Amino acid sequence: MTKAKFRVGNSPVHGRGLYAAVDLGAEEFLLDYAGEVIDWNDAQARWEAADGDPDHTFFFDLGDGRVIDGGSGGNESRFINHGCDPNCETIDDEGTIHVVTLQAIPAGAELFIDYRLSLDDDSAEAAAVYACRCGSPACRGTMLAG
């Protein structure tokens, strides 16, 4: 049995988060971002159906107008919070999104990726929903791509 590399816990940043369960090395594969692949229009509709509560939406932007809905058939990857100075990155391997560490991460630390959402909506409402409060000195104040 290999020990789990991560665990889900309550995050001070946003809802639940994913945490390193053991000391992780740099460039270590963690898991794939799983879920149903849908387009942004469907994602927006689902988001509105969830009454705009971002706790009930888990979208990973594929950058081509499609997103992965981690809330539908997803795995623990959907709990990874956005951070502007992340310790993990995502690598797109022909549509399969690998979540990989950027650096050594001590056991107990929260895992972050930079969502870089390319939302086709520049309304103040969207800006408020996707506002970032990661607390990093490098925080750009939004989960949207700059």
The binding site for Zn ion (CB under 5 A) comprises 84, 132, 134, 139
Q: From the CB of 132, what's the least distance to Zn ion, in Å?
A: 3
49 or 131: CB nearest Zn ion = 131
> Which is closer to Zn ion, CB of 72 or CB of 136?
136
Name the 3-class secondary structure at 92. strand
Looking up tokens 């990093």 gives 136
* Cα 45 to Cα 6: distance, rounded to the nearest angstrom: 31
Sign of CA dihedral 45, 123, 17, 67: positive
Nearer to Zn ion, 84 or 113 (CB): 84
Tokens of 93: 């391997």
**Smallest separation, CB 131 to Zn ion (Å):** 9
Q: Which is nearer to Zn ion, 109 or 139 (CB)?
A: 139
Minimum distance of Zn ion from residue 134's CB (angstroms): 3
Distance CA 76, CA 9 (A): 11
Q: CB of residue 81 vs Zn ion: minimum separation in angstroms?
A: 10
Instruction: List the beta bridge partners of residue 92.
Output: 97
